[in-house]
Every structure is written in C-alpha cells, then in structure tokens.
Chain A
Amino acid sequence: MKPVPDPAGSVAVSMEVNGRTVERTVNSRRLLADLLRDELRLTGTHLGCEHGVCGACTVLVDGQPVRSCLMLAVQADGCEVTTVEGITPKDGLSPMQQAFKDHHGLQCGFCTPGFLMTLAGVEPEDHPDEESVRELLAGNLCRCTGYEGIVDAVMAAWDRSR
C-alpha cells in the first residue's frame, strides 16, 4: 500500500471572524470548525458528530447558519463568519441567551451554541408558532433538555404566547 500523500497543500485565506479580519495559511482539508477552534481558539463552537447531523457546530457564514463541520476553512475565504463568541455582548447576555437562561434552555450547554447560532440566522416571522419553532430546531440535537426549555426560551424571546 502506498502512503496517502499528506495533503499538505496549503492555501492562504482571509476572512472576517466576529468582525475581525483573520489571515491564515490553512491546510486545504482543514475544516472551518477546526480553524475556528484550534487555530483561532474560538472554542464555543462545538463538534458533536462531525457529519452534519447534530448542529452543535453551527456558525453563521455571511449571515446564514452553516455546519462548520461540513465546510472547509478554505471555502470560507472572503466570508464573514460569526460564532457564539461574536453574538455575546461585552457585558451580560443577548436577549436570546438570557431567555435560554431564564427558561432553563440548557443543562450541559454543549449543544447550546449551535442552537443559538441557528436562531441568530433566521427571521422570527418565518417561524410564527410553536410547531414551526420546533421544526426549525429539529436540525439541532440536544440530549439533556428534552427541548422544552429551549422551545420556551425561543417563544419568550420572540414574544410569542404559548
């Protein structure tokens, strides 16, 4: 068996991460998630499955929720990337983060950044009732909460009565 050549091909990329310009030379196969976590040390983005199912790794790329485990770092070249660190105010919490806290929308908190980023990238008007909120959240897995607190938090943050 011949060794797989180490795909050492590296590419220079430039992107804006949480409002800051980042220039790096990255290995062409490196995942966006790993660039964020290991090189930029933005460890709020979590990896729960690395095959696009759990949603823990969700970040915004040019404002759209994206699974950073399914995207190569080089694909984000020239993009704006936002992580959970980027939506957290300097002091305190955002209204959605506060709603999660008020409604016990997290236990271990491992899935939480992914939920917050999914929510940060959508228009509340597109999800007018509980059923559509649940459908929106169905792409993010949580093993602790049974989703009750998360749904409650979203309904409250978006001013919906249940």
Chain B
Amino acid sequence: MTARPTHIGAQVARVEDDRLLSGGARFAADIALPGMVEAAFYRSPLPHARIVGVGAGDALEIPGAFGPFTAGDMTDVSPYPDFDEHARPVGIFPLARERVRYAGAPIAVMVADDRYRAEDACDLLDVDLDPLDPVVTTDAALAPGAPLLYPDWPDNVVIGFPVDNPDANAEFDGRMAVSGRYEVGRHTGVPMETRGVVAEFREGRLTVWSSTQFPHIARTMLSYCLPLDENDIRVIVPDVGGGFGVKAEFYPEEVTIPWLALRLGRPVRWIEDRREHLLATCHARDLVLDLEAAVDEDGRFRAVRGMAVQDLGAAEMYPFGYSPAFTAIGHITGPYRIPHQSVGLLAVATNKTPCGAYRGFGIPEATFAIERLMDKAADRLGIGRNEIRRRNLIGQGDIPYTTSAGAIVDSGSHREAFEETVRVTAERVEHWRAVLGDDPGIRVGSGVVNYIEGVTPTYFMTTGHWTAYDSCSVRVNPDGTAVVSVGVSTSGQGLESMLTTLTAEALGVRRDQVRVVMGDTDRTPYGLGSWGSRSTNVASGALRIASDRLLEKATRIAAHLLEASPEDIEAHDGALSVRGSPGASVTWQQVATAANIRTVDLPEGVEPGLEAAATYEPPGIEHVPDEYGRVNAAATYTNASHAAVVSVDTGTGQVRMLEYIVAHDCGTVINPQIVRGQVVGGVAQGIGGALLEQLHYDEWGNPQSTSFLDYHLPGATEIPTMQVLHFESPAPAMPWGAKGAGEAGIIGPGPAIAAAVEDALSGMGVAEITRTPITAPYVLSLLPTP
C-alpha cells in the first residue's frame, strides 16, 4: 500500500445535500408524466370480513373516474410465491380476495384525473362486507376454537419454531432461576415521506418508480406477479424520504399500480397519505419474550430459555413478516458469555396490520428482554447492575466468540465501550442531580445496557433468496471521470457520499470525478438493496474488488505510456505516477483515452475499455438455523453500550430524557459525521418507541392510531443532547473493515430508559418495568398506591 493521504475517516460534505436543500430533489410524489392519472384505494374499514360484493355505486358520477378495479379483474396477476416451506402458505394477492384480514387492506382501486376525484370516487363505491369475528390478541388467536384468519389452516400460527435444548435445560438444575415476560409494543418506522408508486407502460416496457429499498427484488417480484419478463420491467428509485425498513417490503400497491398502467395504457400515480401509511405500511415489534435465566451465585448467566411470541397481524407482508422474530432469538444473549440457550418462537396471525421490517429488526426486542433480566438478576443477588454486566461481558480474550445463538463475534470493544459509558454516565448523573436536586418530586436515574448487532444478514430462507451478496461495476470515461453503479440503493442515509469516498480512495481519483448510480434496474447490476445495515459492507466489498481489477489494468496502461514498470505505478489525486519520480505521471484522462478511444496507445495484449464488475458475498454466513436455532446469520457484528439519564416526576409519572450516552463500534468509520448521524437518528427513533409511540387497537381490532395526532413522534424538545463515543474495531474479514451503522442506535433506548426509570424510583418500592412504551400512566401504575 502507498502512504498517500486517505479519504477514510475524513469529514467531507455529502454529495446529496445541495439538491435536497434547494428543493431540487425528486421524490416519488414529484413525478408527473404526460397523460398521468391518479389512483386511490378503497381500504377495508373492518378488521375481519368476507367480501360480498364491490359495486361502482355512484362513483362513476365523478367526472373522469374509472373503476372500480378489484381482485376479480386481475385475472392475469399471480399471487406472490410462498418461498418458505416451514411457514404456512399465504399466497399474498395485491387486492383482497374473498376476505379482508385487517382494517386498511386494499379491496378496490379507483382512478381519476387527480387525487381529489379519485378519493371522491372511492367514497362513493358500494362495497358490501360481511363482518367476521375479529382476532385481536395472540391469546385469542391461539385459544381453542378461535376464528381462523386463513380457513385452510388448522390454527392461526404462521410459523412455529419450538426449541428444546437439553444442554440449556441442564444448566437450570440446582441454580437460581430468574424470569420475566418482556413486551415491546407495536410501533413502526414512520418515515416522513410516505410510500409512492408511479408506473408507465410504453412501447412494450413497464417503468415503475417506487420508493422501495430494493429495486431489483421489486423487479423480480413484479415479473412473478405480472405477465412480463424481467427485461420488460425497469424499476427506478427516486429520492426517498427515509425507509427504516418499512420500505423494504414488497407491497400490494407496487403490483396494483403497474397493473393499472398496463390495463389503462396511461401512466398512473399513487401517493400514500398518512392515514393509509399508518394502516397499510408494515407495523413492527409487538413481540413478547418469556425468558428465564439460570444464574450462578456470583451473577454469571449459564443459560437462557423461553419463547418469543409475535403478534404478526395479518400474514400478508413479504419478504420480512416474521423474520425479525428469528433475528430476536439470534440475538438473545447479546454480548454476554451465556453458554446455552433454548428459545423458540411462535408467530401468530391476528386481524391487525401485518408486521414487517423496522430498523433494529428483532434486536431491540431481544435486547430489551435480556437487559431487563440482567437488571433483575443483579437486584436479586444484590450485585450492582453494572457489576453483573462486567462479569458476563465478552472480553478481547474471548474473540472470536461464538454465542449460544450461533453468532460468531469476530471483533469488538464490548468491555471497553461499556466501561467508558459507565464512567461518563456516572459524571453526567452527578451533574443532573446537582441541577435538579432541589425538587423532591423529580428524581434522576440512569441505566446502562449493551448489545451486539449482526449486520449484513443473510437474505434468509423466508424470502427464497439464500444469499447476502451485492454487486458493483466501475467504469472510467475517456475524460477520466468514474461512474460507479451498485445494486444497493439509498433512502436518505448518505450512501451516494459513502460510495463516492470509497471510489476516490480505491482508484486515487478526486471525489468530484466520481458519479454514483444506484436505484435503477436498467443501469445497475443486480443486487439485494439496502436494509440490514448491509450497504456499506457489501457495496464496499464489491467496489473494492471491481476497482482493484480496474486499477490493475489502468496501471498496465499507465506503465506502458510512461515506459515504466507496472509495479512502480501508484494512483492518487486523479493521476497515475511512477513512485518516487513525481514528474513521471499520466492523468486518468490519458489512461482512459488510451483505453476507450486511442487503443493504438495500449500495450500489447491489453483489451480496449476501462470497466470492471464484481460481486461480493461476505464469507462465513449461514442461512438456516439448526434445531436449537443456532445460525451465524450475519457477516459481522457491531457492538455498543448505551446509557439513558432521565428524570421522573413522581407525581405525574412523566419521564424526561436528560441526556443520552452511546459508545458505538461499527468497525472502520468512513465518514464520522454520517456515522454519528445514523447513531443519533437511530437513538431518537428508539426513544420514540421507548416512551411515546404505540399503534393502538380497540378490543374489536379497530385501529386507533391513524394520524399524527394519535401517533406521537418525538420532536426537537423530546430528544436530549447525546454524547457519542466512537470505538473502532475493524471487521477482520471485510474490505476496509467497515461494518455498517444504519440500525444500531435504535437498539439500546428501550432497556436503557427502563433501567433509568427504575433507578430514579429506587427505594420507592416500584414494580419492574416489563414493557414499552413507558408512558406516564404506566409509570404511575408501577408506584405503590399511597
């Protein structure tokens, strides 16, 4: 390697920002095509019903309205394939057939010249629904004789994965057992931009603009569902206003709108409104973990066992419906040396909005349970809550460490990050106690938790894609500028900037010579998209290999032009030079001109062109768990320690965030500002889920959280100042050692805030906090009645 200055770790401006700041970005809702019509969906007002009939009613009185279109009209549409042979087949169909299983399920679609009229037309449809008994809780769904959501099934279980590991059970003989039932409530990603789909069918080709996180997967799914080959379909991802996982599902509207464009021969646009978003974009979490630990007298955990039960809602979410529950059991021991586990899962269908992916993806649920149990064991044994963690944490000497869930932890700073967090937190608590000390009704507390996060996970058996790879192609134009196209795509995290930096690093070109292309299936190689904190990892892996190949060729050309030996050529600052003789240098433009235009200048045996492609499949990933649920399902593992400092008003139960401390290790940091932004943004979302956000249903399954007036997102006054402490343990097997930072921040706040609230109220005889969100009424209910 050369000693030239590196771009890695440098704080540089994002290339996305100018267009976003000036109103020049183009989101799905900004797309307008000649002759375009707009669509609106008629959605089920009932949680569970049989569809008797859909008639036009007075809808066609609306000028320019077409429709209604229903499942019965979609005779040329195939249901989604059911890939996972272990789960019950659902056969997702874009519009409801025969019955609806959640309020918000799309039944029919109307089209008109604008959205106002399309919505008017929907309001005037004559839809006859025959109500069925709703199934609203997992207990009700599992009760004998419960109404069945899917009449062909014997019960309401989508997938069951019982685990009974005798090694774990043996650890419970003669040891103290600590147990609890920990529940993370139903909430979800809620990006500020809702979903949107625009489709046009022209000259035998379908073009779909969709706010998806995985354009290539969307194209493949479209060709499963529509009578078109993949090369008849182009999926383009415009600017996306946040994804957070909820846009990494393939939704019914992504088939229906393209199907309408085919059927009508006109471009069709559908932009989800916020009410639809809260009803029809995937929900998440809603998981209860019954967990029991066998603990030695000195506080060392020997085994955990139990069961994760997820209220999945209707099972109509592809691909990630129940996958987060698997990820939860894969992370249940966190960064602790717990030799054995025996944790199964049950994903249960109910008449609620289907659950799917949301940042954190099962790990917040697992972390909430194990961290709460650690606190409980510490209190029971009279060991400090920090001390018990110290006794169980993985240390450097343990690495590589295989957790009892099968995760191979290849690197990390588990103890170092923890100790630093403990130290800083103690100082901050002292500060806040001094600031707030006078008011006896306001009490200050803190809690520290730890976790690991598997990043770049397998695309898992649930999806039919047994892989974790991604792809990249790099091309140098005759003028020396580079075009990099990748299979991942961005939803606002800054991937364009990240790839610009890495390309400049790899080729020795300037950042302003790099153009990144993503989110267009016609212009990028096949890839799995952006989710699972994978993009930095896999796209950088593929980029590294492709750019090494390209650089090797460029070096040969440069050596020939300079009459030097290829071994002596190095690339930096937009040029290729002979090491040690600065005058002997050719620009990328000269090299690329020889390769692309003046091939007479090429050395013998070198083919024209300056382009290379590569894929990168991270090593060591397993795709299917063994009978005890063990699987190394991710490429590598990040770690972090989080601490919440809160005050609690003992009169009102109100929890106020005072400060938040994160020690975070995602391996090599490419752009510190972007990594910090991901961490802080993730923590903010985690605080929302821990304190505020909840998707409520009434006892009949009617959704109660259908606007921002009753689904409360945290604002600027509810998110505290954060301290972010960076640790860097590069992933040994990854190019550049970068691990991925997208999801981590959201994992810690639930258990950290729960512990902090308990700490603030210590000595008052409060009951254990076992669920989120930790609302003021919930806090009050924990206090002993005076």
Q: CB within 8 Å of B: which residues of A? A: 1-4, 6, 8, 27, 29-30, 37-38, 41-51, 53-54, 56, 83-85, 88, 93, 97, 100-102, 104, 106-113, 116, 133-135, 137-151
Contact = CB atoms under 8 A, between A and B. Distances in A.
B677 A107 contact: yes
A134 B717 contact: yes
A8 B114 CA distance: 13
Given A101-B18, A111-B241, A134-B717, 13 more contacts: A44-B22, A46-B27, A48-B192, A50-B274, A84-B21, A88-B21, A104-B674, A108-B239, A113-B23, A137-B715, A144-B677, A145-B684, A151-B716
B118 to A, nearest CB: 12
A93 B713 contact: no
Contact of A106 (B21, B32, B491): B21
Given A3-B62, A97-B22, A144 B681 contact: yes
Given A48-B274, A143-B242, A148 B722 contact: yes
Given A4-B120, A54-B708, A101-B18, A109 B492 contact: yes
A112 B708 contact: no
Contacts of A43: 23, 26-27, 29-30
Contact of B274 (A51, A104, A110, A111): A51
B20 A106 contact: yes
A49 B63 CA distance: 27
A54 B707 contact: no
B290 interface: no
B22 A51 contact: no
B23 A44 contact: yes
Interface in B11-33: 13-14, 16-27, 29-30, 32
A111 B242 CA distance: 10
Majority DSSP secondary structure for residues of B touching A: loop
B199 interface: no
B685 interface: yes
Nearest to B112: A6
A127 to B, nearest CB: 12
Given A6-B63, A144-B681, A37 B21 contact: no
Contacts of A27: 116
B241 A108 contact: yes
A49 B21 contact: no
Which of A101, A142, A144 is the most central at the interface, judged by chain B CB atoms within 10 Å of its CB? A144
B719 interface: yes
B116 A51 contact: no
A44 B24 contact: yes
A93 B708 contact: no
B95 to A, nearest CB: 23
Given A49-B274, A143-B244, A6 B16 contact: no
A109 B676 contact: no
Nearest to B57: A1
B18 A110 contact: no
Contact of B21 (A83, A100, A133): A100
A101 B685 contact: no
A29 B117 CA distance: 11
30 contacts: A2-B58, A3-B58, A3-B61, A8-B63, A38-B114, A44-B25, A46-B192, A46-B193, A48-B194, A49-B708, A51-B709, A53-B707, A54-B192, A84-B22, A88-B22, A101-B14, A101-B21, A104-B673, A107-B494, A109-B20, A110-B192, A110-B241, A111-B192, A112-B20, A113-B23, A140-B716, A143-B192, A146-B685, A147-B716, A148-B680
B493 interface: yes
B683 interface: yes
A91 B63 CA distance: 44
B191 interface: yes
Contact of A143 (B190, B494, B716, B722): B190
Contacts of B20: 106, 108-109, 112
B429 interface: no
B29 A47 contact: yes
B716 to A, nearest CB: 4
B719 A147 contact: yes
Given A107-B494, A109-B25, A148-B680, A101 B193 contact: no
B82 interface: no
Given A143-B190, A144-B681, A104 B21 contact: no
Chain A CB count within 10 A is highest, among B13, B244, B491, B677, for B677
A35 B683 CA distance: 37
Identify the interface centre among B23, B191, B709, B717: most chain A CB within 10 Å of its CB.
Answer: B23
A88 B57 contact: no
Max count, chain A CB within 10 A of own CB: residue among B22, B126, B683, B717: B22
Interface in B644-685: 673-674, 676-677, 680-685
A38 B30 CA distance: 8
A20 B189 CA distance: 39
Nearest to A134: B716
Contact of B680 (A2, A37, A42, A145): A145
Given A38-B32, A51-B707, A53-B708, A147 B21 contact: no
B674 to A, nearest CB: 7
A109 B239 contact: yes
A134 to B, nearest CB: 4
Given A101-B21, A147-B719, A110 B62 contact: no
Contacts of A139: 715
Nearest to A148: B680
B240 interface: yes
B345 to A, nearest CB: 29
B123 interface: yes
The 7 closest A-B pairs by CB, nearest first: A44-B23, A108-B492, A109-B20, A110-B241, A146-B684, A53-B708, A43-B30
B473 to A, nearest CB: 26
Nearest to A102: B13
A137 B677 contact: no
Interface string B109-139: 0000010110010011010000000000000
A51 to B, nearest CB: 6
A107 B707 contact: no
B563 to A, nearest CB: 44
Contacts of A150: 716
A120 to B, nearest CB: 13
A56 B192 contact: yes
